[in-house]
Amino acid sequence: MEKTYYLNGAFLPASEAKIHVGDIAIGRGYGVFDYFQVREGVPLFRSEHLDRFMRSCKLLNIALDESRAFLEQAIDKLIYIDHIDKAGIKLIATGGVSPDGFSPGKASTAILVLPYYEPPQQMVDNGVKLLSFEYQRLLPHIKSTNYLYNVYLSPQLKAAGAIEPLYYTSESVRETARANIFAVINGVLVTSGEKVLSGINREKTLQLGYPVELRNITLEEMKNADEVFLTGTTKRAIGVTRIDDAIIGDGKPGTITMDIRKKLLAKEASLLVS
pLDDT at 1: 79
- Number of Cβ within 10 Å of residue 174's Cβ equals 23
Strands 31-39 and 42-43: antiparallel
- Position 56 scores a pLDDT of 98
pLDDT digits (tens, 9 = 90+) for 23-82: 999 999 999 999 999 999 999 999 999 999 999 999 999 999 999 999 999 999 999 999
Residues 6+ apart with CB under 8 A from 110: 5, 6, 7, 8, 17, 19, 91, 92, 93, 94
Predicted pLDDT of residue 17: 97
Supply the pLDDT for residue 274: 79
Give the predicted TM-score (pTM) of the model.
0.96
- Residues 181-229 pLDDT 10s: 999 999 999 999 999 999 999 999 999 999 999 999 999 999 999 999 9
- Is the pLDDT at 119 greater than 90? The verdict is yes
Q: What are the tens digits of pLDDT across the range 131-182? A: 999 999 999 999 999 999 999 999 999 999 999 999 999 999 999 999 999 9
pLDDT at 123: 97
What's the mean per-residue pLDDT of the chain? 97
What φ, ψ does residue 256 adopt, rounded to 5°?
-70, -40
Q: Distance (Å, rounded) from C-alpha 239 to C-alpha 261?
A: 9
Q: Which residues contact 23 (CB under 8 A, 6 or more apart)?
A: 94, 95, 96, 97, 105, 108
As a whole number, mean pLDDT of residues 12-26 equals 96
Phi, psi of 215, rounded to the nearest 5 degrees: -160, 170
Contact of 86 with 39, CB cutoff 8 Å: yes
| 28: three-class secondary structure by DSSP | coil
Q: What string of DSSP letters covers 102-171?
A: SS--B--EEEEEE------HHHHHH-EEEEEEE---SSTTS-BS--HHHHHHHHHHHHHT-SEEEEE-SS
Q: Domains in the chain, start-ordered, CATH in brackets?
A: 4-114 (3.30.470.10), 121-273 (3.20.10.10)
Q: Kindly report the CA angle at 72 between 197 and 266, in degrees rounded to 5?
A: 60
The H or E element that residue 173 is part of is strand 173-176
